[in-house]
Amino acid sequence: MPAFTAHRRLHFRVAVSAAAAMFVAGAAAAYGEDRPVAFVGGRVLPIAGAAIDRGTVVVAAGKIIAVGPVDSTAVPADAERIDATGKVLMPGLVDTHSHVGGGWGGDASGPIQPDVRILDSINVRDAGFRKCRAGGLTTLNIMPGSGHLLSGQTIYAKLRQADTIDDILYRDPDGRILGGMKMANGTNSQKEPPFPGTRSKSAALVRQKFLKALDYKRKLAAASDDAAKRPDRDLEMEGLLDVLEGRVIVHHHAHRADDMLTVLRLREEFGFKVVLHHASEAWKIAGELAKANAPCSVIVVDAPGGKIEAMDMSLATGAVLEKEGVPCAFHTDDPVTDSRLFLRTAALAVRAGMSREKALEALTLAGAKMLELDHRIGSLEPGKDADLILLSGDPLALRTQVLQTWVEGRRVFDREDPEDRLFAVGGYGASRDQTAHACCTDNRMAETR
């Protein structure tokens, strides 16, 4: 089982030489598009290093070129300068668990549906995406719901301006769409047959399906290049083999401590990579999670309710996991938490004892690692994607506003723009085309306004 390893802390102050400045201009010219942009004078929170009180961040050709103090960071002569004095710059926020876009995954035909792809039902014009940008979110893991043991394939979405789903997809160098596999246990998936009625039967069904996938793998191996001997193509089995062979991560809904331990037993049996999502009772078994090197994507809400297995949810979960050395990221589960309130999640965790450093990391770099995208996003470092946000003040302060959101060096939200401002503050029309994913209620497609 590949482990999620802690990356070394990088404490850096990057001084860009004249030669580097020439490279900036050359890179932008090579792309034949945008001028370099320099954010100058603001407090910079790189996440991967110490804060810079008066810093400069230079971006060009969709990438971060330089991060450092104002007095030692060169700015290309042709750069657009943005005065960030009195403001804060930090990486774009990474939401490891979202349902924006109105997408639906598996249906009532069965509890395990690895062939389902959430990208086939996402509306990129859904107002939820504009609210995400207004909240400073730049990367999402968009999931099917948790009403199945396995409800389908997720996508990792980059919140560029979009006309089609292809505009927001992350792809690897070979063009493969990047995403994970959504699984769940606990009460959500317990229903009338063919769904399981108990926790034990839930685990048994998963084991049986994985064993079937391993048998499919053996048949493929035995057939080798002989097309006549190969089994018929099976999209379910292909999806499960992506899991079992480590090409995708399982994003596993689990609230109770015993349900999380069941997931870890399954991981031990079948060797897949997993992130535990919600993890309401992770504070009860933090030591076991640390021994298992089991990363947790945690939802932080200040008004719990609605699900009895989440009754022991604690605002202190982040602090407990930090103390034990368990990787911890935060998520919105939007629409459970409005994406515009994501910074508030970290503030609540800090109030309950989590360190400021780890809480900000949980909004950014920790989530990037759980999506295996930390080579591209999650911190302000040269060479990474130019995804960043400009804030009016400290990210944990109640009255701080997201002023601008940038994705790959392009401004995708500006609070000064009246239309963008509408999606930041609400009001008539702000949710006109937004639908909420509500897999576990009778109201399947509730409009939010």
Q: What is the CATH number of the domain that holds 30?
A: 2.30.40.10
pLDDT number for residue 407: 98
| Residue 420 is assigned to a structural domain of this protein | no
Does a structural domain hold residue 429? no
Work out the burial of residue 186: count CB atoms within 10 Å of its CB; fewer than 13 is exposed, 13-18 middle, 19 or more buried.
Answer: buried
232 and 323 co-located in one domain:
yes
Residue 206 lies in a domain: yes
User: Are 107 and 70 contained in the same domain?
Assistant: no
Distances 21 to 28, 60, 66, 79, 389 between C-alpha atoms, Å: 11, 11, 9, 10, 23
In terms of domains, do 136 and 160 share one? yes
Q: 441 exposed, middle or buried (CB, 10 Å; 0-12, 13-18, 19+)?
A: exposed
Provide the pLDDT for residue 304: 65
Cα angle: 19, vertex 58, 368; to 5 degrees: 120
pLDDT of residue 217: 98
Closest by Cα among 71, 2, 5, 11 to 379: 11
The count of structural domains within the chain is 2
Domain assignment of residue 446, yes or no:
no
User: Which CATH number belongs to the domain containing residue 110 in this structure?
Assistant: 3.20.20.140
Closest CA to 249 of 272, 269, 277: 272
Beta strands 250-254 and 296-299 are unpaired
Answer yes or no: are the C-beta atoms of 267 and 249 closer than 8 Å. no
- pLDDT score at 447: 37
Residues 97 and 76 occupy one common structural domain: no
Find the domain containing 403 and state its range.
1-91+378-415
In a domain, 435, yes or no: no
Cβ-based neighbours of 123, under 8 Å, separated by 6 or more: 101, 102, 103, 433, 435
Residue 101 dihedral angles phi and psi, to the nearest 5°: 100, -5
**Are 255 and 382 found together in one domain?**
no
Question: How would you class 382 by CB atoms within 10 Å of its CB: exposed for 0-12, middle for 13-18, buried for 19 or more?
Answer: middle
Mean pLDDT per 10-residue segment, the chain (449 residues): 38 35 42 78 98 98 98 96 98 98 95 98 96 98 96 98 97 97 96 96 98 98 94 97 98 98 98 98 98 97 79 96 98 95 97 98 98 98 98 97 98 97 90 73 39
Is residue 441 in some structural domain? no
Same-domain pairing of 7 and 75: yes
Say how far apart CA 228 and CA 432 lie, in whole Å: 53
Which pLDDT score, from 0 to 100, does residue 431 have?
Answer: 86
Is 262 a domain residue? yes
Q: Same domain for 238 and 329?
A: yes
- Do both 133 and 261 map to the same domain? yes
Output the pLDDT for position 339.
96
In a domain, 81, yes or no: yes
Helices (H) and strands (E) in the chain, counts: 11, 19
pLDDT (0 to 100) of residue 438 = 58
Neighbouring-strand partners of residue 390: 89, 404
Same domain as 132, residue 70 = no
User: Are both 409 and 271 inside the same structural domain?
Assistant: no
What one-letter code names the amino acid at 212? K
Residue 33's pLDDT is what?
Answer: 52
Nearest to 43 by CA among 67, 66, 25: 67
Looking at the fold, whether 223 and 350 belong to one and the same domain comes out as: yes
**pLDDT the model gives residue 12:** 33
Identify whether residues 49 and 115 lie together within a single domain.
Answer: no
Largest interatomic CA distance in the chain: 69
d(CA 321, CA 413) in angstroms, rounded, equals 33
Q: What is the pLDDT of residue 305?
A: 65
pTM of the model: 0.90
